[in-house]
Structure 1
Amino acid sequence: MEKVIVYLDDPAYARQRMPGGDGAPTHWLLVACAPRMTHRISKWVSHSARENWRAKWADRLFEQVIPQLQARGDTVTPILARGPLPELTRTLMAEHGETRVLDVRRPKQDQPGQGGNWASGTMMSLGALFLLAFD
């Protein structure tokens, strides 16, 4: 049985990126990667409340992904990532032997005001400056 470690954070995006069933049974090690919380949230939310939120978030994610895989006859092991992914990958590979690793997490989008797409803002500012200069 082939074993595959899959890192995911969005069920719809993951379903589009995960390979289809080729008939061979597969053991999926689904690793839920919850969204990061800012360091400032620790002032307002306790550690146990954050862990509870992550667990509930992962449960909702698994509810949307696991039934589809089990319907194909595959085995699924849900895992919630609680630390750095390289360490988790090494641990899972040591426990399950040689496995394939898929990262089907949704790519991060640049957020305005966080050093994202500064080139377009710069070009707009220069354009406005030139318009003012020619008036």
Structure 2
Amino acid sequence: MNKVIVYVDDAEQARQVLAPLSHRASAEKTEWVLVACAPRMTHRISKWVSHSARENWRTKWADKLFGQIVPWLQAEGVQASTVLAKGPLADLLTQLQAEHGAVPVIDARRPKQDEVAAPTPVQAVAAPVNITRKPSPRRWSLPGTLAGLGAMFMFVAE
């Protein structure tokens, strides 16, 4: 039986990416290993949330994600197993490839904001650029000006 590793973090995005592949996978009896990639938490969150609470949240998040994807895949006739990524994906991929052999990897994760915000060629042509106008000199900002005046008056008052 063929196996494929699929990285997922959003059910709708995964359906869009995996829909064309699901018919072929069900015909070829391919098993998909779904790897849930939970959103990153900042290192500052440890001040407010314990490690076990973070792990519980990550587990609940993955269960909800798999609850949306796995029934859809089973309806399509695709066998799927689930894995929750708890560390770097490179380490998990090495572990999964050692377990399942050299299998293909599909990245069905939602694109990052930087990739979405990058203008397409159509957007770049549609947006006119004003080259003739020189940039205006930088003006003082109101909060900085008020803070400076306040400090000066306090210095003079003493």
Q: CA deviation at 1:60?
A: 0.6
* Inter-partner Cα distance in structure 1 for 2:74 and 2:103: 19
Q: CA deviation at 1:93?
A: 0.8
Say whether 1:77 aligns with 2:81: yes
2:127 maps to none
Say whether 1:21 aligns with 2:28: no
Q: CA deviation at 1:69?
A: 1.2
Describe how 1:26-105 pairs up with structure 2 within 5 A.
26-105=30-109
Q: Secondary structure at the match of 1:99?
A: coil
Residue identity matched to 1:49: A
* Inter-partner Cα distance in structure 1 for 2:64 and 2:136: 49
Residue identity matched to 1:27: E
Residue identity matched to 1:109: Q
> Max radius of gyration: which structure?
2
* Inter-partner Cα distance in structure 2 for 1:73 and 1:26: 10
Q: What RMSD over aligned residues (CA atoms) do the two structures have, in Å?
A: 2.3
2:112 maps to 108
Q: Out of 44-53 and 84-93, give the one that drifted further.
A: 84-93
Summarize deviations over 1:9-62 as a string: whole Å, max 9, x none.
Answer: 011001111223221111110000000001110000000000000000000100
When normalised by structure 1's length, the TM-score is: 0.80
* Inter-partner Cα distance in structure 2 for 1:5 and 1:127: 53
* Inter-partner Cα distance in structure 1 for 2:72 and 2:29: 14
Runs of 4+ in 1 over 4 A off after TM superposition: none
Q: Is the 8 A contact 2:6 2:33 kept in 1?
A: yes
* Inter-partner Cα distance in structure 1 for 2:34 and 2:22: 15
Q: 1:127 to 1:60 in 2, by over 3 A?
A: farther
Long gaps (5+) in structure 2: 119-129, 140-158
Higher helix share: 2
Q: Is the 8 A contact 2:22 2:78 kept in 1?
A: no
2:9 maps to 9
Identity of aligned residues (%): 58
Q: Which has the higher contact order (CA 8 A, sep 6+)?
A: 1
* Inter-partner Cα distance in structure 2 for 1:32 and 1:21: 22
Q: CA deviation at 1:72?
A: 2.7
